[in-house]
Amino acid sequence: MPRRYLVLSDLHLCDVEEHADGWKSFKSAAYLFDEALDALVRRFTDETPAGVEAILVLNGDVFDFDLVTTTPASPPWPVSLAEKGHGLHPNEQKSVYKLEQMLAFHPVFLRTIARFIAAGHSLVYVLGNHDRELHFAAVQRAFVQAVERAAGELGATITAESLRFEPWFFYVPGEIYVEHGQQYDQYTSFRHLLAPVVEQGGEPRLALPMGNLSNRHLLNRMGFFNPHASDYILNIYSYVAHWLRHYALTRRSLVLPWLIGSLVVMLEMFNLKRLLLAQRPSVEAERAAIAKRYGLSLSMLDQLEALQRPPITARFFGIIRELWLDRVALALLLTSGTLALALAPVPLWVKLMLPLSVFPLVYFIYEEIVKGETIFTIEHTFPEVARAVGELLSVKVVTFGHTHKPRLIPLDRDLVFVDTGTWAPIMRGLDDRRLVAGYRNYLVADFTGPSPTIQLRAE
C-alpha cells in the first residue's frame, strides 16, 4: 500500500505557568499551538487519498518532562526538598504524574491524536531525550488511556495497534528513517539507550544525560532564559548586562542557582556514571525485537549504533566548561592576581596596566586555546550522520529532530536529510517576546507516485 508520512518533532508540550515579570514566559498560554497543530493534522488527513496509508510520526521531545516542576499537594510517595525545587525524580510513578499534569493543559492535542487514529490511520511515537520518561510502561499506558478517553468523548474508538512507541528509530525499507537524534550529541546521549534505567535512591530511575540534568537543575531556576532557543549562551559581558536588567533590583537570583545547579549537575553526572558502570544492563532482547520488527540484522544495528556519540561524562573538562566553571575559576585567579598586585611593592603603573591589559588578554587567549565542541556542534555533524544512515539502509529520506534548526539538505541524487525544527516558542531576542516566523515546522513525505515528494513546511 502506498504511504504518506507527516513527521513532527520537538513540540515540547508541558504545563502552563504565568508570571507577570516574564519569568518562564516560554511556558505561557500565549504560545500554545494546539489548534494550529490540529488544523495541520486535519489537512494532512484530508489530502491523503483513499487507499493510501497515512502515518503520523511524533519524533521525540513531544512532551518535555524536564520542565514540569510542580508537585502534588498530598503526594502518595515521598517528595524530597530538592524535588520541590527542580521537579520530581524520573521514576515510573512520578513520571505518570508529570505526564498527567502536561496532558491537563493539552486536551486539543489529545483529541487531535484520537481523531487521527480513529479515522484508521497509524501513529508512531519515537522517544527523544526530554520525553524519555515514556520508556516506563506505566507512562505509556497513561498516554494511551488518555487518547482512548479523548476518542470516547468524540464518540470513536481506537485500537492499541494503531499507536506504538519506538525507543530508538522508525524505519520503512526503501522509504524513510526517523530518529530523534539525541544519541549523536554528547550532551544528550544515553549510555544505554534501550535500557536507560538505574537503581538510584532505592528505586529505578532514568539515568539522565547532561542536557536534561542542566534543564532541571539550572534552566528551571533561571527562568528569563528560553531553554528551547539556546539564548542562554552568552559572553561574560552579556551575562552581566542580563543580571543588571533582570536580577539586580529584584528578589530573584541568577548566580546562586547557577552555582548550586552546576555543582548538582556535576555530582549527579558522576554518580550516574558510577551506577551505570556497576549496573550493566543486557539489551539483547530489545535489540533482537527491533531487528525482527524491521527485518534488520544485528550487524546492521551495530553499524547504526557505532554512529552514536558516548556521553560527555568521560570528559571532565568538557563538563566544567559547559557549566562555565572554568571561566569562574580563571576569573577568581585573575582577581586574586589583581589583589596581590595591589598589595605588592611595585609601581602604580604596573598595578594598573596588568589588570587592565594583560589579564583580559590572558582570558581571550585561554578562550581561543580551549574552544572545542559546543552544543551547536551537532548541527554540523547531523548531515554526515544522515548520509551514513541513508547509505546503510537505502532509504530516500533520513529525518532527525533535536536541534530545533529546520532544514532540508539533498545529500545525494536519491537521499534527502530533513531536520524538522521545533514547535516550541522561539523568540526574536532575549528580551523580545515576539515569536520568530518560519518555525512550527513539519515534514511531509509522499510515496504515492513514481518518485517520492519530500517537503519541509512551516505553519
Query: What sign results for the dihedral spanned by CA atoms 406, 444, 54, 42?
Result: positive
- Amino acid 220: pLDDT: 92
- Amino acid 365: pLDDT: 82
323-344 mean pLDDT: 81
Copy the grid coordinates of residue 181: 537524534
Confidence of residue 352 (pLDDT cuts 50, 70, 90): confident
Which of 313, 347, 370 marks a domain boundary? Answer: 370
Is a pLDDT exceeding 80 seen at residue 71? yes
Point out the least confidently predicted range of 8-12, 45-49, 231-235.
231-235
Q: Element (H or E) spanning 302, and its range?
A: helix 298-306
Q: How many domains does the chain have?
A: 2
Q: Which contacts of 198-202 are long-range, i.e. CB under 8 A and separated by 24 or more positions?
A: 198/272, 198/275, 198/276, 198/279, 199/275, 199/279, 200/271, 200/272, 200/275, 201/89
CA pair distance 289, 305, nearest whole angstrom: 15
Is a pLDDT exceeding 80 seen at residue 235? no
Considering the chain, what percentage of its residues have pLDDT values greater than 90? 66
* Per-residue CA distances from 437 to 12, 85, 459 (Å): 18, 34, 9
256 and 340 share one domain: no
CA pair distance 395, 179, nearest whole angstrom: 13
Residue 12 identity: H
CA pair distance 270, 13, nearest whole angstrom: 30
CA pair distance 199, 280, nearest whole angstrom: 11
SS (H, E, C) 133-174: HHHCHHHHHHHHHHHHHHHHHCCCCCCHHHEEEECCEEEECC
39 and 67 share one domain: yes
pLDDT digits (tens, 9 = 90+) for 312-326: 987 777 888 878 788
Q: What would the DSSP string read from start to end of 371-396? A: ----TTHHHHHHHHHHHHHHHHHT-S
Is a pLDDT exceeding 90 seen at residue 354? no
248 vs 41, residue with greater confidence? 41
CA pair distance 318, 74, nearest whole angstrom: 41
Which of 370, 403, 429 marks a domain boundary? Answer: 370
Q: Indicate the SS3 state at residue 179.
A: strand
CA pair distance 374, 233, nearest whole angstrom: 10
368 vs 274, residue with greater confidence? 274
Residues in the chain: 459
144 vs 359, residue with greater confidence? 144
198 and 341 share one domain: no
Point out the least confidently predicted range of 90-104, 194-208, 231-245.
231-245
Residue 174 CB burial class (10 angstroms; 0-12, 13-18, ≥19): exposed
pLDDT digits (tens, 9 = 90+) for 271-295: 998 998 888 888 999 999 999 999 9
Residue with the three cell numbers 525545587: 85
CA pair distance 284, 286, nearest whole angstrom: 5
Point out the least confidently predicted range of 245-249, 306-310, 369-373, 408-412.
369-373
281 and 220 share one domain: yes
DSSP 8-state symbol, 13: B
CA pair distance 166, 9, nearest whole angstrom: 14
Confidence of residue 106 (pLDDT cuts 50, 70, 90): very high
pLDDT digits (tens, 9 = 90+) for 133-151: 999 999 999 999 999 999 9
362-375 mean pLDDT: 78
pLDDT digits (tens, 9 = 90+) for 396-415: 999 999 999 999 999 998 99
The average confidence (pLDDT) of the chain is 91
Residue with the three cell numbers 530545533: 404
Point out the least confidently predicted range of 75-84, 231-240, 338-347.
231-240
On whether the CB atoms of residues 236 and 316 are closer than 8 A, the answer is no
Copy the grid coordinates of residue 289: 525485537
244 and 337 share one domain: no
199 and 344 share one domain: no
17 and 116 share one domain: yes
Copy the grid coordinates of residue 184: 549523536
Q: Indicate the SS3 state at residue 122.
A: strand
- Amino acid 386: pLDDT: 97
Copy the grid coordinates of residue 360: 583580559
334 and 252 share one domain: no
Is a pLDDT exceeding 80 seen at residue 236? no
Q: What is the pTM of this model?
A: 0.92
Which of 355, 370, 385 marks a domain boundary? Answer: 370
420-444 mean pLDDT: 90
Q: Indicate the SS3 state at residue 457.
A: strand
pLDDT digits (tens, 9 = 90+) for 151-196: 999 999 888 788 999 999 999 999 999 999 999 999 999 999 999 9
Domain with 199, as residue range(s), is 3-321+374-458
Residue with the three cell numbers 489548534: 35
422 and 449 share one domain: yes
445 and 345 share one domain: no
329 and 292 share one domain: no
Residue 252 identity: R
- Amino acid 39: pLDDT: 97
312 and 331 share one domain: no
